[in-house]
Amino acid sequence: MAYRPPHMRNRAPPASAPATHLPPLGTADRPPPGARGSGSPGRGLSRGDVSRATGRPPRGAPPGMRADGLRRARDTPPPDEMELLASVSRSGGNADGDRLKDPETQARFRAYIEDKIERYRAARGANADADTEALSTIVRLLRKLREGVVAAGRCDAFAVQGAFAGVPVDPVFEDSVRYAVLTRAVPQLNAVLHGLVPDMYRAADAAGTILEPDNRAHFASLLLVYHLVHSQRKEYQRMFEVLTLPPAPLRVAPGLDDIPSLANLSLRTPSPPSLSPTPTHRTIPAPTPAFIAPSSLRFAEAAARALAHETFDPLSFAALTRPGSGGDAGDLALTVLSWAAPTVRERVRALMRQSYMSVPLPWAARLLGLTDSGAEAWAREEGLTVAHGIVKLR
């Protein structure tokens, strides 16, 4: 007989109830096998089941994703070994991340970039967006290679100018400048220009690896034009002096050896000087020549005069930005100078507005560096009225 507490002994026993057996933990809501799909309980098929059965993307998937796209992603071959090379600046110092310091790896990576460049040139003009994406990829890969070259301390023809292993190649630094100009990647252009001019050229001169004639005049002019367009005038003037003036020689200050010793001083009458004093010889280092002669920077000087506040000349600026007018500076400096055209046109408009009520359209076109139709379109975009060949400024 089961034990009953004292206060329950005089009461009638409760009616018998069916025994309740609790299922093991975690199995209360589990459906029997085959009753439902593999999804969550009470919801039928899961999203994965629906996607596999219908070929449609699951709910919440990114827009545009399709099952066939997922299959193509799975079938895509793995990326190239060169694409997986880490930048030296992000390698963390491990051996695998420093592979781009190795000259052989650098040569293979350069060939990989050349293949990208050839593909870009072959497909150029077919798709403008694709061209922009390809150029951005080339700029990124050249920056990665440039980091490896600098980390390895190379200043040979592979880095600056000439041939590598007997095969003519475009130098890494100079090629980086060209493609940075094509993509108008201003931060990249600033970094590579200041690394190339004058430091890399001076290092190549000291190592004797530079070939003649070199391209320092082109890139020195390009650096000065870059400062005219993107920096203040004083930065241009400072860089012009750095490039054209020889470094100031270090003046040897008199040392303690030139001061007479106290032991040799006497209050007595000094002895007569020796008839044959020992001469003191000092080795004066040879003066370091200037990086480049000012005569090689005439394009940059002409651009500086055209853009200066005191000698502002929009007609000269328009002449300097015409195709083929780069001269010794090359087309790269001409392209970078043309980036200042919107600023020049704003200054021209302010000057015309201060001096005239209206101007003839052909005359305004000359000052703006545009054709008559281009000047008319510019005037309408600026909210000016053009009627009967006259631009009304106010």
- Domain assignment present for residue 263? The answer is no
Query: Percent of the chain having pLDDT more than 70?
Result: 65
Instruction: Tell me the mean pLDDT in the region 262-281.
Output: 55
Tokens of 215: 């391209």
Which pLDDT band holds residue 86 (cuts at 50, 70, 90)? confident
- Domain assignment present for residue 107? The answer is yes
What separation, in Å, do the N-terminal and C-terminal C-alpha atoms of the chain show? 115
- Domain assignment present for residue 159? The answer is yes
Q: How many CA atoms lie within 13 A of 364 on its CB side?
A: 31
The domain of 103 spans 81-211
pLDDT in tens, 109-140: 999 999 999 998 888 765 555 678 889 999 99
- Domain assignment present for residue 27? The answer is no
- Domain assignment present for residue 135? The answer is yes
- Domain assignment present for residue 97? The answer is yes
Q: Which of 11-25, 36-50, 97-111, 263-277 has the lowest mean pLDDT?
A: 36-50
Q: Bigger pLDDT: 51 or 322?
A: 322
- Domain assignment present for residue 109? The answer is yes
pTM: 0.70
* Helical (H) or strand (E) element with 391: strand 390-392
* Contact indicator for 45, 35 with CB cutoff of 8 Å: no
Tally of domains within the chain: 1
pLDDT in tens, 30-60: 555 555 544 444 455 555 554 555 555 555 5
- Strand 167-168 relative to strand 358-360, pairing: unpaired
- Domain assignment present for residue 333? The answer is no
